[in-house]
Amino acid sequence: MTFEYSGKVFLAPNTSDQEVVDKAKKKLVENGIKNEDIQINYNTNELEVGDLYVSYEPPHIVVRNVYEKKTSGLVKMKSIGMLNID
């Protein structure tokens, strides 16, 4: 599965386990995301349309695409994939 994006990729692993973070990054790179575009960040207010937000929901990572950002700051996302990282 290849993910299309035009901006940033926020990885919000919700864990301090470095092994989980490394596995998640590796899986994202295997699916077409550039390693240099991945950043650990939980602040959804910094997301823009075209960015990806990736969260860890054991044992998967869920990839969401930002498709709208309201002037109020509300960010709308749609799940576009789920990858197993075990």
Q: Find tokens 């910094």 and name the residue.
A: 46
pLDDT at 86: 78
pLDDT at 15: 87
Which helix (H) or strand (E) segment holds residue 30: the answer is: helix 18-30
Question: What value does the mean pLDDT take over residues 3-32?
Answer: 94
The yes-or-no verdict on residue 37 having pLDDT over 90 is yes
For the chain, the structural domain boundaries read: 9-84
Instruction: Convert the pLDDT of each residue in 60-84 to its tens digit.
Output: 999 999 999 999 989 999 999 999 9
The yes-or-no verdict on residue 16 having pLDDT over 90 is no
Structure tokens at 66: 């930002």
pLDDT at 12: 96
pLDDT at 78: 98
**Plot region of 61 (φ>0 → left; ψ -120 to 50 → alpha; else → beta):** beta
